[in-house]
């Protein structure tokens, strides 16, 4: 099969230098599918990266003008990317088109229509009715885009979770939605535990990730564990605010902002060396970082939201009421003070995480794509 993956962002190397779940999903699936098929990725052009590249045998075409990674806004640069990506893709020879996020869904659909090929959307979360709450006024663009694309005659949606599928069913034919979870492959990494008790968080620093709740929990934990450490990996628009909050809470000696770490193995080393992983987010489609912590044998404490409960299977960690940083602090302390619980949760997590190994999931995706292509030809 000639598979075209369209994703707004894609790693620039095999170090998996990613900033979000959609590009991680695209990379992992492309890496497995390319073993037996011709895979081309159409993505944004970022500074310091070649226009055309080959990563793990994946043909990567980077379109549009140079642009930086953004989570919201940048409507003009995104629109320019969409136009250039369409112009590029419509002249290629593909058997199937797959879009990986809201910006690329209409591109995949339009190219598929031009080439008369099937179109699949890889869906992480549905935000109709929530765009403005999550992104402010620029969310209007996302709201209109998502409503438009779900009204199209798409061939298939691959949802990362039952939670997302249930949301999609209100706007799209449920018979054409299949749940295929994210691939989460975690290499065997050696890392000694930090000497001081350490909490780790890997997250974009944006409003709905609620990293400020974690900082407030740290200030509570500090009262009984004075030298508690918290390492926050990631970047985003709330970084300045969060750093100021650290000073206001007088926990500067307890919190380290590690920024964006390009080599994903280095991220996993920090996770594995920590005693507890924490994800306070209130908006997730799946929760790849939770599964990565589980695979590393690190117990987690996370918001009790359906996608995270589903991804973990209720194994490997403890949950707290979203935004309740007092309860979060209590759950973290409970794990830190109980070595037997740390061990049992760690073992549970490792066992559960094996369900997300790449080869098994890639075979399911491969089978779905092959059937769609065959059915399309027989129309």
pLDDT in tens, 98-107: 999 989 999 9
What is the structure's pLDDT at 133? 80
- Check whether residue 305 and residue 337 sit in a common domain: yes
What are the pLDDT digits (tens) for 173-214? 999 999 999 999 888 888 999 999 999 999 999 999 999 999
pLDDT beyond 70 at 46: yes
CATH number at residue 266: 3.40.50.2000
- Check whether residue 349 and residue 361 sit in a common domain: no
pLDDT beyond 90 at 245: yes
- Segment 64-72 shows an average pLDDT of 73
Residue 72's pLDDT band (boundaries 50, 70, 90)? Answer: low
CB neighbour burial string for 208-231, b if at least 16 within 10 angstroms, e if fewer: ebbbbbbbbbbbbbbeebeebbbb
Return the structure tokens found at 179: 């749940």
Domain count, the chain: 2
Report the C-alpha gap between 251 and 329 in whole angstroms: 14
- Segment 59-74 shows an average pLDDT of 79
Beta strands in the chain (DSSP E): 2-6, 38-44, 52-55, 58-63, 96-99, 119-123, 156-159, 177-179, 198-202, 229-233, 255-259, 276-279, 300-303, 317-320
- Check whether residue 221 and residue 349 sit in a common domain: yes
Whether 74 is in a domain gets the answer yes
- Check whether residue 87 and residue 208 sit in a common domain: no
What are the pLDDT digits (tens) for 146-176? 999 999 999 999 999 999 999 999 999 999 9
Among candidate residues 354, 211, 233, 339, the one with its CA nearest the CA of residue 291 = 354
Q: Which domain holds residue 46?
A: 2-183+357-377
Among candidate residues 203, 212, 220, the one with its CA nearest the CA of residue 300 = 203
pLDDT beyond 70 at 218: yes
What is the structure's pLDDT at 17? 66
The 3-class SS string of 246-311 reads: HHHCCCCCCEEEEECCCCHHHHHHHHHHCCEEEECCCCCCCCHHHHHHHHCCCCEEEECCHHHHHH
């Amino acid at each position: 099969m000639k598979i075209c993956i369209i994703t707004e962002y894609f790693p620039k190397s095999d170090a998996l230098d990613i900033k979000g779940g959609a590009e991680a999903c695209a990379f992992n699936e492309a890496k497995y599918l390319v073993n037996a098929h011709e895979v081309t990725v159409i993505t944004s052009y970022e500074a310091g990266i070649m226009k055309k590249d080959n990563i793990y045998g994946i043909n990567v075409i980077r379109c549009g003008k140079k642009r930086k990674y953004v989570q919201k806004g940048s409507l003009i640069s995104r629109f320019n990317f969409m136009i250039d990506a369409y112009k590029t893709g419509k002249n290629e020879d593909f058997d199937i088109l797959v879009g990986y996020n809201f910006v690329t869904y209409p591109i995949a659909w339009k190219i598929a229509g031009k080439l008369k090929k099937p179109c699949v959307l890889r869906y992480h979360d549905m935000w109709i009715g929530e765009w403005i709450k999550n992104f402010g006024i620029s969310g209007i663009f996302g709201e209109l885009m998502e409503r438009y694309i779900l009204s199209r005659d798409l061939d298939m949606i691959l949802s990362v979770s039952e939670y997302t599928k249930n949301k999609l069913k209100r706007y799209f034919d449920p018979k054409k939605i299949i749940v295929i979870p994210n691939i989460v492959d975690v290499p065997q990494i050696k890392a000694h535990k930090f000497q001081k008790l350490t909490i780790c968080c890997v997250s974009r620093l944006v409003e709905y990730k609620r990293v400020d709740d974690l900082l407030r929990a740290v200030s509570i934990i500090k009262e009984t564990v004075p030298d508690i450490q918290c390492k926050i990996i990631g970047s985003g628009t709330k970084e300045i605010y969060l750093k100021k909050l650290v000073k206001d809470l007088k926990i500067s000696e307890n919190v380290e902002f590690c920024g964006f770490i390009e080599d994903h193995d280095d991220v996993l080393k920090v996770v594995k060396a920590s005693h507890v992983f924490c994800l306070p987010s209130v908006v997730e489609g799946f929760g790849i970082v939770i599964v990565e912590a589980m695979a590393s044998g690190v117990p987690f404490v996370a918001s009790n939201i359906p996608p995270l409960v589903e991804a973990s299977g209720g194994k490997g960690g403890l949950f707290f009421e979203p935004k309740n940083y007092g309860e979060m602090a209590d759950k973290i302390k409970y794990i830190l003070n109980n070595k037997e619980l740390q061990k049992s949760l760690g073992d549970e997590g490792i066992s559960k995480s094996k369900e997300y190994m790449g080869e098994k999931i890639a075979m399911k995706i491969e089978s779905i794509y092959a059937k769609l292509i065959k059915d399309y030809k027989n129309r």
